[in-house]
Amino acid sequence: MLLFWLIFFLTKIKVKMAILKVIEILSDSDKSWEDATREGVSKASETVKNIRSAFVQTQSTTVKGGEVDKFRVNLKITFEVDG
């Protein structure tokens, strides 16, 4: 009898499965790596909907005249695909 109810409930449960996609972008800032990350996510969200996360893969800087010029991040943006 227990097996009957288990099968009954399992057939009634609807499981939602999300499809996620990852894109890679580069972003930079005059201020900081955190600002470069915020700017990258903000710019990506103008055309990419349902962004779920951003992973900073690498950080780097450009140098001009012996001073740090720009802070750069390589971001992996994960978003849910509609469907």
Q: Could you tell me the residue ranges of all domains in the chain?
A: 26-83
Domain 26-83 class in CATH: alpha beta
Per-residue pLDDT tens for 32-77? 999 999 999 999 999 999 999 999 999 999 999 999 999 999 999 9
- The DSSP call for residue 65 is T
| pTM metric for this prediction | 0.76
Give me the pLDDT at residue 18, please: 83
CA 13/CA 31 separation, integer angstroms = 50
Above 90 in pLDDT, residue 13? no
Q: Which helix (H) or strand (E) holds 72?
A: strand 67-80
Give me the pLDDT at residue 82, please: 83
| Number of residues written out for the chain | 83
Give me the pLDDT at residue 51, please: 96
Q: What is the number of other CB atoms lying within 10 angstroms of the CB of residue 27?
A: 23
